[in-house]
Amino acid sequence: MKILKRLLFGLLLLLILSVSVKNAGNVRFRYFGLIDSFEIPLFLVLLLSGLLGTFTGAIVGSINRYRLEKTIRRQREIMGKLQAEVSSLRNLTFSGSNDEGNNRVRRARGNWV
C-alpha cells in the first residue's frame, strides 16, 4: 500500500510538472474589476484552481461527515434505549392466574382488550 501511494504521488507530480512545462505562457488575470489585472503563468492559474477545488471539496466532505457522525450517535442512543426496553420486556414474568402481570404485558404491548 505504501508503494502504491508513492507511485500515485509520483504520477501526480509528473502530471503537474508536464502541465506546467506545456502551459508556461503568461495570461492576464482579472476579476470583475475588483483586482487590478496582472500577468501570471497559466500553469499557476490551473494549479491554484485545482487546489481551490480540492479545498472546497474537503470542506464540504468534512461537513457531511460531521452530520453523518452526529446522526449515527443519535441512532446508537435510540438503539441502546430500545435494547434496554426489549430486555426489560423479556424479563417480565407472568402466569395465567396473575391478572396484574398480564395487564402489565398488555400495557407494554399496547393491546388493551
pLDDT score of 101 more than 80: no
* The predicted structure's pLDDT at residue 13: 84
Check: CB of residue 24 under 8 Å from CB of residue 42.
yes
DSSP string, 44-74: HHHHHHHHHHHHHHHHHHHHHHHHHHHHHHH
Q: Where are the domains of the chain?
A: 19-109
Residues of the chain above pLDDT 90, percent: 36
22-31, 58-67, 102-111: range with lowest mean pLDDT: 102-111
pTM of the model: 0.56
